Amino acid sequence: MLTSLAADRDTGTRHADRLRQALEADIVTGVFKPGERLDEQRLADRFGVSRTPLREALAQLAANGLVTLQPRRGAFVVSLTFQEIVERFEMMAALEGMCGALAARRLVASDREALLNSLEACRREAADGDSDSYYQANEVFHQIIYRAARNAFLAEQSRQLQARLQPYRRLQLRAGRRIAASFAEHERIVAAILAGDAEGAERELRDHVLIQGDRLRDFFASLAHAGED
Amino acid sequence: MLTSLAADRDTGTRHADRLRQALEADIVTGVFKPGERLDEQRLADRFGVSRTPLREALAQLAANGLVTLQPRRGAFVVSLTFQEIVERFEMMAALEGMCGALAARRLVASDREALLNSLEACRREAADGDSDSYYQANEVFHQIIYRAARNAFLAEQSRQLQARLQPYRRLQLRAGRRIAASFAEHERIVAAILAGDAEGAERELRDHVLIQGDRLRDFFASLAHAGED
DNA sequence: GTCAACTTTTTCGTATACAAGAAGCTCGAT
DNA sequence: ATCGAGCTTCTTGTATACGAAAAAGTTGAC
């Protein structure tokens, strides 16, 4: 059901595309860790294909910024510096804000309904206090906003960047306090969109994302000082 | 000098990367027209390589949205519908606006100098009235703003999208009146950035891009009605 | 002349082969 | 014991080979 929101063109009978999707999933979900080397032959064996289509899949992932290809050295899962993560959160905040502003202006009945349903799902998961299921409900909530912006390109770019930040974002929501705060922000976001308040929706969504960035900054800062005393 | 602004990591001794750059340039500059089929063997012969690295280059271009790979049919230069072009201009306007807002907040001395120099270059080319050289000066001007935002990821995304819209944008600036108007907008943009007026810079840049989108809409509308009477 | 079924040709997708560079290892010198 | 030169092994980058699907061309019926 999530994939139906994504704008991945069905690429038919090409191993390279199937491999790209599988590798992307493994990178995004953290099966392959940042910095890890991806051995072509080993992966080809694992998927039961030769190196040729696998290399094409790696080329696509490199173009998408998920892996880096070091000449004569191989493919590595991209490992972002703190600065690079901050830059991407800054971009993500702007994209989400833009989605919110457009959604507020263009909301159609079906998106309005989906948005309200998703908010209720978030409310339930937040009450349960299970961070994993809230994380999933949260993801659906944002995907609905991407779609409600009625700009397929913007939605696809947002989805891609969101996926790329997923490993880093996952570090943060664990704290129970954050879930309640996140849901309160969701409520304000929905209120602004339903009211047609484009600027309000933009601001709420931007801040909603930036707060995650700030929390990540704190997380990194605590890492940097770990073991000092 | 333009390439020094772009954040293309040096990819060393890989045919696939060289091919990707060459093909991207040919697509962006219109050597290969939208919808055109790209024959693998013919291109491989032209570049003096085999199909293997060429296919990897095509895979990268497909991941970047410059070509589409139709299974068992081949690679085609992406042909955007009017709706898709509008969506990309909408995104471009937001990205440029964001660059402007960040540049206004973060302007450093070297960027300030580059911005002023570029504005003067635009003034000269606008006075000359040569649309091609103004087009080039305009491109440099925008690249400087991307860089002044001090967010390398945002700058790279803006540069990529700008390149992708280049074939469509080129249709518009020919009209002499537009050059003068464009330069006047540049002056207001620079004034806002120098004044540290983030909201003003964002608004001016957003409108600056959206005007191009509007003009494109007019252009398409005139095409649709061509030959009616 | 048009259309459909069949044949031929072209071109894609993948596997395999091989050359060249990088990583790892042995072994001797300090 | 540590370090570096030379050798070995492994891996990448590219070319080539081949089966299969699509496109193009041909033939025949109506």
**Domain spans of chain B, in order of start:** 10-77, 82-224
Within 8 A of B63 by CB-CB distance, chain A residues are 20, 59-61, 63-64
Q: Hey, are the CB atoms on A59 and B16 less than 8 Å from each other?
A: yes
Chain B contact probe: residue of A66, A87, A150, A206 with most B CBs at under 10 A: A87
What pLDDT is recorded for position A184? Answer: 96
Between B217 and B126, name the one with better pLDDT.
B126
Mean pLDDT within B150-179: 86
pLDDT, averaged in runs of 10, over chain A (229 residues): 40 83 96 96 97 98 97 96 94 98 98 98 91 91 98 98 87 74 96 98 96 82 66
Q: Decide if pLDDT at B167 tops 70.
A: yes
Closest-approach residue (CA) in chain B for A14: B71
What pLDDT is recorded for position B225? Answer: 72
- Count Cβ atoms within 10 A of the Cβ of residue B11 and give its class: 0-12 exposed, 13-18 middle, 19 or more buried: middle
What pLDDT is recorded for position B5? Answer: 33
Chain B contact probe: residue of A40, A151, A159 with most B CBs at under 10 A: A151
- Report the alpha-carbon distance of residue B203 to residue B94 in Å, rounded: 9
Helix axes A82-106, A152-169, angle to 10 degrees: 140
Q: Hey, are the CB atoms on B153 and A87 less than 8 Å from each other?
A: yes
- Report the alpha-carbon distance of residue B22 to residue A121 in Å, rounded: 49
B71 vs A11, A87, A154: nearest CB? A11
Question: On chain D, which bases lie within 7 A of the protein's CB atoms?
Answer: 11-17, 21-23
- Report the alpha-carbon distance of residue B130 to residue A180 in Å, rounded: 59
Between B15 and B45, name the one with better pLDDT.
B45
Mean pLDDT within B132-149: 95
What pLDDT is recorded for position A210? Answer: 93
For the B10-77 domain, the top CATH level (class) is mainly alpha
- Report the alpha-carbon distance of residue A67 to residue A55 in Å, rounded: 12
B91 vs A14, A90, A153: nearest CB? A153
Protein fold of A2-77: Arc Repressor Mutant, subunit A (1.10.10)
- Which residue from B125, B105, B103, B126 is spatially nearest to B114, judged by alpha carbons? B103
What pLDDT is recorded for position B176? Answer: 66
Between B8 and B70, name the one with better pLDDT.
B70
Mean pLDDT within B175-200: 93
Protein fold of B82-224: Four Helix Bundle (Hemerythrin (Met), subunit A) (1.20.120)
Q: Hey, are the CB atoms on B91 and A56 less than 8 Å from each other?
A: no
Which protein residues have any CB–strand D distance under 7 A? Answer: A 38-41, 51-52, 55, 69-75; B 13-16, 44, 48-53, 56, 72-73
Whether the CB of B69 is below 8 Å from some CB of chain A: the reply is yes
Whether the CB of B55 is below 8 Å from some CB of chain A: the reply is yes
Between B62 and A217, name the one with better pLDDT.
B62
Q: In sequence order, which residues have a C-beta less than 8 Å from that of residue A41 and are 6 or more positions away?
A: A51
What pLDDT is recorded for position A226? Answer: 65
| Digit-coded pLDDT (tens) for B20-37 | 999 999 999 999 999 999
Q: Coil, helix or strand for B33?
A: coil
B157 vs A13, A16, A91: nearest CB? A91
- Interatomic CA–C1' length for residue A222 and nucleotide D3, angstroms: 38
What pLDDT is recorded for position B54? Answer: 98
